[in-house]
Chain A
């Protein structure tokens, strides 16, 4: 399977702390994306990082990409209770002919305690 694996599966922190989630994948990628899913809702795109980029920021989010290790991390700084959600990495992998599908990881359930 070419899906990503996320680590940890579950993370519980106090409000104000930083949260770090990791994602590993198996094949060469075109880009890697992170999504958030609140309970009972659809996924919301957070950030996209291309294979030639190493780091990207968006507000309190910081994403890194290490293509040599086939891994990415998502850092959420100064977490809030509203950040409680499942976080997924998704890769657009390069296959013969096309790179038109997202392959999702297993997700990290983040709980931020007030």
Chain B
């Protein structure tokens, strides 16, 4: 009965490789997100996406791309991995909130990416 799931939980890879992280939600939410949490626990939005609109944080390198095969999935693909990409990546989902805002978000367990 997992609400938001991510795979893999741990990912260790070498610089220059391409990798993907998968995310699935079974909550029927219409919006999904990717966040990056650094070693100081600072959490930063990377993307928000529903079936109509992709909002990209302007600081995210174009090596990162979200791919959504359907409303329940938002995968994160990363090209040419760099050392600085090492972090914990969280997927989340939410319903569209009142007055165009957003309500509570449900987070996945995170994927710890280590680039060597």
Give chain A's interface residues, CB within 8 Å of chain B: 30-31, 33, 35, 37, 40-45, 48, 50, 86, 88, 92, 98-104, 106-107
Contacts and interface: CB of A to CB of B under 8 A. Distances in A.
A30 B99 contact: yes
B107 A101 contact: no
Interface of B: 4, 31, 33, 40-45, 48, 55, 90, 92, 97-110
Secondary structure of the A contact surface, majority rule: strand
Contacts of B106: 45
Contacts of A45: 104-106
B105 A41 contact: no
Contact of B108 (A37, A42, A86, A104): A42
Given A31-B97, A42-B90, A100 B48 contact: yes
A99 B107 contact: no
A100 B43 contact: no
Contacts of A106: 40-42
Question: Taking each of A33, A50, A86, A102, which has the highest tally of chain B beta carbons within 10 Å of its own beta carbon?
Answer: A102
A101 B100 contact: no
A92 B100 CA distance: 10
